[in-house]
Amino acid sequence: MPVYLPPISRRRFLKGSLAASAVVAAGGCATHRSESDAQSWALLSDIHIAADPNLVHSKVNMTRNLQAVAQEVIAWPAPIDGVLINGDLAYNSGEPGDYAAVAGLLRPLREHGLPVHLALGNHDLREHFWAALPNEKTEQANLPERQTAIVRTRYANWFVLDSLIAPLQIPGLLGDAQRKWLARALDANTDKPALVAIHHHPALGGATGFPLEDTTELLEILRPRRHVKAWFFGHTHRWGVYHDESGLCLINFPPVAYLFEEGHPNGWVHATFQPQGARLELRCLDRTRQDHGQVVDLVWRA
């Protein structure tokens, strides 16, 4: 049941309306075709928005942080074609007021003409989320309790998955049905690089912080399918780019909200995609940090 927020500006009203209506069933999952065949994306995670805009956690006002990121995305000097927010939309347990606040804070991005794609994390609650955005929810026959989508762009296909077990259950799990769907969907879409977005991080290298419980089973799907190039995740509230033993890129989004450990950046990532790879630019909320503007060039595995 993917939730896709189409553009609502006058500048892209017609295109946004067409994109919103061009949702088709594909193997039991919604498929959204980006109206501009996006090359450039704003990638966010862990926004943790509360109904109370003045709420502060770990010395951070989450509402102000998301407002600052949205303003920077809107003011970006080159066109940005899409926004992905990879889970933990709500502050703590996914209350209805949290999602009403999320919808309001995302409205300026949509009014600027940007489509917004939303995934869920362990601090979300599906029913409250869907109830807050009833016009955007798309019923699916095969995965009725998951929020799963394919987003097709010019240079890659995004596979946005749902690792939420239940609110406040910190580990993640895709489950057998979603993994089987993913394998079928990947095999049916080999024409472009496949990028997988999951809120939870992989359980690799002694990973802590409650990672994805079925990492092993997922990697058995991803690794042999060489057109799968990257796994994007959040959850850890840390920025990092790695590769696994198969050459799969592992990209850990920074949080928009608060940090678990001092010394790490919070902010967002500007990504520019090309056929053979991607350029990721870290955008820190604290622009005095030395790693603000750090660029990582990724070359997709053969």
For residue 163, the domain's CATH number is 3.60.21.10
Judged against a pLDDT cut of 70, whether residue 249 lies above it is answered with: yes
Q: Strands 295-299, 56-57: parallel, antiparallel or unpaired by DSSP? A: unpaired
Mean per-residue pLDDT, 21-40? 47
Mean per-residue pLDDT, 217-232? 98
Taking only the tens place, the pLDDT of each residue in 260-289 is 999 999 999 999 999 999 999 999 999 999
> Which of 26-35, 81-90, 95-104, 145-154 is predicted least confidently?
26-35
Taking only the tens place, the pLDDT of each residue in 179-198 is 999 999 999 999 999 999 99
pLDDT at residue 31, rounded to an integer: 52
Q: How far apart are the C-alpha atoms of 290 and 287, rounded to whole Å?
A: 8
Domain count, the chain: 1
Mean per-residue pLDDT, 91-116? 97
Per DSSP, the three-state class of 151 is: strand
Q: How far apart are the C-alpha atoms of 160 and 148, rounded to whole Å?
A: 6
Proportion of the chain above pLDDT 70, given as a percent: 87
Using pLDDT thresholds of 50, 70 and 90, give the confidence band for residue 26.
very low
Q: Is 258 exposed, middle or buried (0-12, 13-18, 19+ CB in 10 A)?
A: middle
pLDDT at residue 16, rounded to an integer: 39
Supply the range of the domain harboring residue 278: 3-299
Amino acid at 156: A
> Which of 35-39, 164-168, 255-259 is predicted least confidently?
35-39
Mean pLDDT of the chain: 89
Taking only the tens place, the pLDDT of each residue in 135-171 is 776 555 467 678 889 999 999 999 999 999 998 899 9
Q: How far apart are the C-alpha atoms of 82 and 37, rounded to whole Å?
A: 9
> Which of 82-86, 113-117, 144-148, 180-184 is predicted least confidently?
144-148
Buried (b) or exposed (e) across 145-165, using 16+ Cβ within 10 A? ebbbbbbbbebbbbbbbbbbb
pLDDT at residue 261, rounded to an integer: 94
More confident residue, 175 or 4: 175
Rounded to 10°, the helix 96-111/62-74 angle is: 20
Handedness of CA 16, 46, 171, 245 (dihedral sign): positive
